[in-house]
Amino acid sequence: MRLPFLIFLLGIAGLVPFVFLGGSIFIGHLFAPQPRLMLALLAYGACILSFLGAVHWGLAMERPDIINDRTTSDLDRWRLIFGVCPAVLAWLALYIGMVANPRTGLSLEILGFVAVYIFEKSGWKKGAIPQGYIRLRLALTIGVVISLLLAILGT
């Protein structure tokens, strides 16, 4: 299944702040520390990681029987449970990054993005994730991880 061009375009647009901030931190640290950019990247990463969990809530909630019926399918139950996990991890990464060490927070976000992709890839193999979506997620995950690594290496 091919995704509409708008979804592809918006996915790439969401990657732009990662690339800009990660690259700016990497290059900028050659001249001076960039703590505000690190926090901006950390906060943006936490927002997007939370959003990825919300996607799965949307997939579960799009079915009218989840609201009207007393039973929830195993797949929808897993989607609802999993949908909360990225938000909790994003909050933890943001908190640790702000209170203790931004590099540690960015590292946790990397783990979160990779874990979400692995979980989604598992769901895709079972037919629970659209094929076009999983390809886009792979490309975006690679872009995000590279950007976050650049920021970590730039400090």
Residue at token pair 């996990």: 85
- How many domains would you assign to the chain? 1
Tokens for 21, please give them: 């901030």
CB 20 within 8 A of CB 151: no
Residue-number span of the structural domain to which 109 is assigned:
5-153
Tens digits of per-residue pLDDT, 79-136? Answer: 888 889 999 999 999 999 999 999 999 999 999 999 999 999 998 888 888 778 898 9
DSSP 30: T
- Which of 144, 148, 142, 134 has the alpha carbon at shortest distance from 55? 134
pTM (two decimals): 0.88
Tens digits of per-residue pLDDT, 24-79? Answer: 999 987 787 777 899 999 999 999 999 999 888 887 777 655 555 555 677 777 88
From its phi and psi, is residue 127 left (phi > 0), alpha (psi between -120 and 50) or beta? Answer: left
